[in-house]
């Protein structure tokens, strides 16, 4: 998928200084119910933070929302995730892809 139209959002995530960037897309609620990061279910998304479900409210990473209630169904959501973890699983029926950040080129990142 071509993520070049989201380069500004991806560059903003780079400032979070976490190792990995992912694009997650799903249909339904604003929070990707059933999605996991490093084996922990995502409990909620709030103020750019991804919070784990359960006791302790573990912060799993940060996010930037690219699409909210979009698409023909008006139930499509897309977020870009920045996390130190490699294991990111989308909710049932959703998609996730790792974004490779290439340094250089007019002072910004390129996204693939």
Select from 81, 75, 108 the least CA-distant residue to 97.
81
Domain extents in the chain = 4-101
Select from 22, 21, 57 the least CA-distant residue to 42.
57
Q: Residue 1: what pLDDT?
A: 60
Q: Specify whether the CB–CB gap between 77 and 67 falls below 8 A.
A: yes
> Which tens digits make up the pLDDT trace of 18-53?
689 999 999 999 999 999 999 999 999 999 999 999
Q: Residue 12: what pLDDT?
A: 66
| Number of CB atoms found within 10 A of residue 78's CB | 20
> Which tens digits make up the pLDDT trace of 74-105?
999 999 999 999 999 999 999 999 988 666 54
Q: Residue 32: what pLDDT?
A: 96
């Amino acid at each position: 998928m071509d993520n070049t139209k989201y380069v500004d959002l991806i560059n903003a995530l780079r400032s979070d200084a976490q190792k990995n960037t992912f694009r997650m897309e799903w249909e339904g609620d604003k929070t990707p119910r059933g999605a996991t990061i490093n084996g922990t279910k995502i409990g909620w998304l709030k103020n750019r933070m991804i919070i784990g479900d359960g006791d302790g409210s573990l912060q799993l990473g940060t996010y930037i929302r690219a699409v909210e209630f979009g698409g023909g169904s008006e139930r499509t959501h897309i977020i870009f995730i920045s996390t130190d973890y490699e294991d990111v699983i989308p909710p049932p029926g959703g998609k996730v892809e790792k974004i490779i950040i290439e340094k250089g080129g007019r002072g910004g990142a390129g996204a693939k």
